[in-house]
């Protein structure tokens, strides 16, 4: 009988590599084997421990309070600030919205004001918690436009429970002007959340190693909460983020206590109830291993890698960065000679995983890179691969979607997409349909097709696609 672990290892071979610094989205690689080992062993040691009840598992409470203390110092939190370790960025963002909403129970139809670049997690929160999201276009520099944000608050300040800004935004890697937005929120007694899920564990170290970072922490008056993910630039195993509040009073509505049933009296600090102690222990072990000095070193590496990538992009005529990065995320576009989706495929063929972002509003397709410290050791290989991949994409020419398919997509109503429509699209894209759906090796033709669709249509297509992927393997 084949050992289950052997079979898992075989299955894992089809996944993106999580080590080696060549996966520039989804995973964050310190490049340090010892950090990976310590994180993994800690996860395994606490995998069965239950964070539901800190009195039964006091070690988990200690780890959480240690991590929040570490984060509070990093984020310039005042005395009296508190926090919670959550399962990831999305849970931290959801709780920021839920807490803001439930702090104002007198408001019938709560709303929140967000820049158009805010992470989709906030739109998910809007959907789950029925908070109206007022989406404000960003300025030409892709940063939140403070005057427009204030005007949006002013349209209905009495119903506004939250304003959100990012440090930095995922899509463009720039930091919103936190100070004027937070000040305007504070003036009106409205909460202001800084979504530093992706920057929160690297920007403080950028400052420590002498780089200039625009103000975004609790040092900014009016910032009431900050999310910062350990499983991104904390280089911890997946499954942890922190949500910090300026005061215990601000955190209180996040808690859920329930005693009016015959079972155990319940107090939950997050969306989850039973939760594995594994990710928390993994994050604690990684932070204790690295400490401030370790993170300083990793920050030096990741910013050197980012700077060199920006320089390399600048040296390739077909490419241009969308905005000079404020952190470790790089977004770049291609000119008409180089199809961005083909470029992503060409990079994948060379072992580098970069993330295409669909065209949006008046912006063309872009490529996103979440640079890791572990990428620095392979920077020359990255630059050669990018140079070669651009040449290959230029030689291949643009991906042309069959005009009939384009017309078919344009004629579909996303609200009424049927299984037959979807099968027709799959067949048109050469992906078959019905049973046996598989992710193709070259994504450019599929991406080019999706790129033609409206955001609503893209959502309907993705939903239909996921529905087909998520089917049970039955005996």
Ligand X SMILES: Cc1ncc(COP(=O)(O)O)c(C=O)c1O
The binding site for ligand X (CB under 6 A) comprises 88-90, 93, 119, 121, 166, 170, 195, 197-198, 229
**CB of 197 or CB of 412, closer to ligand X:** 197
Tell me how far, at minimum, the Cβ of 444 lies from ligand X, in Å.
Answer: 23
Q: Which residues pair with 366 in a beta bridge?
A: 333, 357
**CB of 321 or CB of 425, closer to ligand X:** 321
176 neighbors 143 (Cβ within 8 angstroms)? yes
> What's the Cα-to-Cα distance from 43 to each of 66, 237, 258, rounded to whole Å?
17, 8, 29
| Nearest alpha carbon to residue 95 among 105, 104, 106, 84 | 84
Gap between the Cα atoms of 427 and 413, Å rounded: 18
**CB of 160 or CB of 166, closer to ligand X:** 166
Tell me how far, at minimum, the Cβ of 275 lies from ligand X, in Å.
Answer: 15
Q: Which long-range contacts (CB under 8 A, 24 or more apart) does 468-471 make?
A: 468/422, 468/437, 469/437, 469/439
Tell me how far, at minimum, the Cβ of 446 lies from ligand X, in Å.
Answer: 22
From the number of C-beta atoms within 10 Å of its C-beta (0-12, 13-18, 19+), residue 418 rates as exposed
89 neighbors 69 (Cβ within 8 angstroms)? no
Tell me how far, at minimum, the Cβ of 370 lies from ligand X, in Å.
Answer: 8
**CB of 89 or CB of 445, closer to ligand X:** 89
Tell me how far, at minimum, the Cβ of 274 lies from ligand X, in Å.
Answer: 20
Gap between the Cα atoms of 42 and 258, Å rounded: 31
DSSP notation for 263-311: S--EEESSS-SS-BSHHHHHHHHHHHHHHHHHHHHHHHHHHHHHHHHHH
**CB of 119 or CB of 251, closer to ligand X:** 119
Tell me how far, at minimum, the Cβ of 119 lies from ligand X, in Å.
Answer: 3
Helices (H) and strands (E) in the chain, counts: 16, 13
Tell me how far, at minimum, the Cβ of 354 lies from ligand X, in Å.
Answer: 15
Gap between the Cα atoms of 309 and 386, Å rounded: 10
> Which single residue brings its beta carbon nearest to ligand X?
89
Tell me how far, at minimum, the Cβ of 28 lies from ligand X, in Å.
Answer: 10
**CB of 90 or CB of 342, closer to ligand X:** 90
Tell me how far, at minimum, the Cβ of 331 lies from ligand X, in Å.
Answer: 12
**CB of 232 or CB of 246, closer to ligand X:** 232
Going by the DSSP 8-state scheme, the letter that residue 377 receives in this structure is: G
Rounded to 5°, angle at Cα 252 from 250 and 256: 145
228 neighbors 241 (Cβ within 8 angstroms)? yes
**CB of 233 or CB of 465, closer to ligand X:** 233
Tell me how far, at minimum, the Cβ of 199 lies from ligand X, in Å.
Answer: 7
Residue 364: CA count within 13 A, CB half-sphere: 14
**CB of 87 or CB of 160, closer to ligand X:** 87
**CB of 88 or CB of 234, closer to ligand X:** 88
Gap between the Cα atoms of 138 and 172, Å rounded: 11
For 150, the enclosing helix (H) or strand (E) is helix 146-155
Reduced to 3 states (helix: H, G, I; strand: E, B; else coil), residue 200 is coil
| Nearest alpha carbon to residue 144 among 121, 119, 111, 110 | 119
Tell me how far, at minimum, the Cβ of 166 lies from ligand X, in Å.
Answer: 5
**CB of 144 or CB of 429, closer to ligand X:** 144
Tell me how far, at minimum, the Cβ of 282 lies from ligand X, in Å.
Answer: 15
**CB of 194 or CB of 457, closer to ligand X:** 194
| Nearest alpha carbon to residue 171 among 314, 323, 313, 30 | 323
């Amino acid at each position: 009988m084949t050992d289950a672990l052997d079979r898992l290892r075989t299955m894992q071979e089809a996944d993106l590599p999580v080590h080696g610094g060549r996966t520039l989205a989804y995973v964050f690689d310190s490049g340090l084997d010892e950090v990976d080992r310590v994180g993994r062993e800690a996860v395994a040691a606490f995998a069965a421990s239950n964070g539901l009840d800190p009195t039964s598992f006091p070690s988990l409470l200690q780890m959480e309070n240690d991590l929040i203390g570490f984060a509070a110092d990093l984020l310039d939190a005042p005395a009296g600030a508190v926090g919670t370790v959550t399962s990831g960025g999305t849970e931290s963002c959801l709780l920021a919205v839920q807490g803001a909403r439930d702090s104002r129970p007198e408001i019938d139809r709560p709303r929140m004001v967000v820049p158009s670049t805010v992470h989709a997690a906030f739109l998910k929160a809007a959907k789950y918690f029925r908070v109206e999201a007022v989406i404000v276009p960003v300025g030409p520099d892709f940063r939140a436009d403070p005057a427009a944000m204030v005007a949006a608050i002013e349209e209905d300040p009495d119903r506004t429970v939250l304003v959100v800004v990012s440090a930095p935004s995922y899509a463009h890697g720039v930091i919103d002007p936190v100070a004027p937005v937070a000040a305007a929120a504070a003036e009106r007694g409205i909460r202001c959340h800084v979504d530093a899920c992706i920057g929160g564990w690297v920007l403080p170290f950028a400052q420590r190693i002498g780089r200039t970072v625009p103000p975004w922490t609790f040092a900014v008056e009016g910032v009431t909460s900050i999310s910062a993910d350990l499983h991104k630039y904390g280089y911890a195993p997946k499954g942890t983020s922190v949500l910090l509040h300026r005061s215990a009073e601000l955190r209180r509505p996040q808690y859920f206590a329930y005693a009016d049933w015959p079972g155990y009296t319940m107090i939950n600090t997050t969306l989850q109830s039973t939760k594995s102690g594994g990710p928390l222990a993994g994050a604690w072990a990684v932070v204790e291993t690295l400490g401030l000095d370790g993170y300083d070193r990793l920050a030096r590496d990741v910013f050197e890698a980012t700077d060199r990538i920006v320089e390399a992009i600048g040296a390739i005529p077909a490419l241009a960065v969308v905005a000079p990065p404020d952190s470790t995320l790089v977004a770049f576009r291609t000119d008409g000679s180089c199809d961005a989706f083909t470029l992503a495929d060409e990079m994948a063929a060379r072992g580098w995983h970069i993330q295409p972002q669909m065209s949006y509003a008046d912006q063309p397709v872009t490529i996103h890179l979440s640079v890791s410290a572990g990428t620095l050791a392979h920077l020359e290989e990255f630059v050669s691969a990018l140079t070669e991949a651009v040449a290959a994409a230029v030689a291949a020419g643009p991906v042309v979607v069959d005009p009939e398919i384009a017309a078919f997509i344009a004629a579909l109503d996303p609200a009424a997409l049927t299984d037959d429509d979807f099968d027709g699209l799959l067949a048109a894209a050469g992906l078959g349909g019905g049973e046996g759906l598989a992710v193709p090796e070259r994504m450019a033709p599929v991406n080019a097709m999706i790129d033609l669709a409206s955001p609503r249509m893209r959502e309907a297509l993705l939903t239909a696609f996921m529905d087909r992927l998520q089917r049970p393997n039955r005996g």
